Amino acid sequence: MADKDWFKSSDPIAWCRGCGNFGILNAWKEAFAGLGLRPEQILMVSGIGQAAKLPHYLLCNTFNGLHGRALPAASGAGIVNPGLVVIAEGGDGDGYAEGGNHFIHAMRRNVDMTYAVHDNQIYGLTKGQASPTSEESMVTGSTPRGNPLKPERPLALAVASDCSFVARGFAGEKDQLVDLMKKAVTNKGFSLLEILQPCVSFNKVNTFDWYRERVYDLAGEDHDPADRAAAFEKALEWGERIPTGVIYTSERETHAEYTGLDGREPLCGRPPREASSIEKLYPVFR
């Protein structure tokens, strides 16, 4: 039987006391154990940021790449080694700003993997600048007169892109979050799990209490995740009521299916080809 302690790392954690990331870290351990996974079966890929530090604090295969570039690395790993449980992890700045282009096309490609985005509506690692999801008029280190931009709505973008699984959790509701993590990982195709993650140091507006007064679980509502129009409406809902749970699901061919890779020997299992010299090509470029 799997144990969540299998995934416990001995590395010291460099998050602020009370950070919402702790709840997400603990939820992943429980989700992995609940799925019966072992550390060697998991690859977690991240970019740069406080959320992107999470793989450092888990005992499993990890890869820490460039800012906003977790998705191409994770997609490549999943394509060549479909036996791995591949998860990309990052924040709203890392994923929706620097990584926004990769985000859109990863959903289109539909590689079988999960993307967990910790949304704290701020850049935490660099001490509190406005992010793509910061509220309009929000005062931050980079917007001292108030944020002039309207916030991005990534879940609505995901529904518009026909992402195969779209869900939102809250770092303060661990049981629901664990369940959503397990559903995201076991979904066939690209799964987006956005996690509302309060930043206790640089976002004094969207706090744990602020979210607790507003979040509600779609599991208790008359919501059909297969209804794209209804899902789009829920993805845009924000303010006094904020929906959590599974927002949208779509049965689509995965990358492995439409490229013909499904059922073939994965690239990671094939013997390497013998290297050949490229010197014969030199005259062509002279």
Residue ranges of the alpha helices (H) in the chain?
A: 21-34, 70-80, 92-93, 100-109, 154-160, 174-186, 208-212, 228-236, 255-258
Q: The dihedral of CA 235, 142, 118, 218: what is its sign?
A: negative
Amino acid 275: pLDDT:
64
What token pair was written down for 243? 């929906």
pLDDT in tens, 18-77: 999 999 999 999 999 999 999 999 999 999 999 999 999 999 999 999 999 999 999 999
Task: Give the CA count within 13 Å in the CB-facing half-sphere of 17.
Answer: 0
User: For the whole model, what pTM was predicted?
Assistant: 0.93
**Which of 189, 196, 276 is closest to 244 using CA atoms?**
196
- In the predicted model, is pLDDT for residue 276 greater than 80? no
**Which of 194, 185, 195 is closest to 78 using CA atoms?**
185
Q: What is the largest CA-CA distance in the chain?
A: 70
Other Cβ atoms less than 10 A from the Cβ of 67: the count is 16
Amino acid 267: pLDDT:
82
Structural domains of the chain, ranges and CATH numbers in brackets: 4-285 (3.40.50.970)
Q: Which residue has the tokens 């990769």?
A: 102
Pairing of strands 242-249, 85-91: unpaired
199-235 exposure pattern, b = at least 16 Cβ within 10 A, e = fewer: bbbbbeebebeebeebbeebeeeebebeeeebbbebb
pLDDT in tens, 81-139: 999 999 999 999 999 999 999 999 999 999 999 999 999 999 999 989 999 999 999 99
Q: Please, are residues 241 and 233 in contact by the beta-carbon 8 Å criterion? A: no
